[in-house]
Amino acid sequence: MKIVISEDQIRDGVGRLAHEITEYYADRPLTIIAVLTGSIVLLADLIRQLNMPLRVGVVQASSYRGASTTRGPLVLNSDLMPDITGRDVLLIDDIYDTGHTLVETIALLDGMRPASIRSAVLLRKRGRQQVAYEPDYVAFEIPNEFIVGYGLDYQDAYRDLPYVASLEPGDLGGDPP
């Protein structure tokens, strides 16, 4: 495992995101919807730095199962979301890889008639996008490597790491620690 983004770098990146989001929304009320489960750490750190009226909810979106490192069909569950009708919404996710999760989740949210939808991601993986959409806020650009830590997992392991690391090819395919 190789550290790609340190704890200090993450703290600075989340601070930059918070500053950009605050500049855009000022003191307008904002509803933040986090994509489970990978963005929970980002959600917690980000909302503590935003100084505006906030509502928070989550949506479950999953396209990877078990040991798979390739995308399957996206399954969305919005049962844990607040009503977003007429609200400014910021969708946050841990990583922007192919873009399918973000685009399909935005389409789901758009059907709920919010006033606006913007998106923020911790990581944007270079060279993997398959959709014509770019997140509004990106903390870090990363190389095309399998990333864990700071909420991101491999077979539900490594989410608790306080930094972002890449797994070596030999680390994939076996049982996680």
From the list 44, 120, 57, the residue with the least C-alpha distance to 83 is 57
C-beta separation of 85 from 113 below 8 A: yes
In the residue annotation, 97 being an active-site residue is answered as yes
Catalytic position from the list 88, 97, 110, 175: 97
Residue type, 111: G
One-letter amino acid of 119: S
Tell me the catalytic residues. Answer: 97
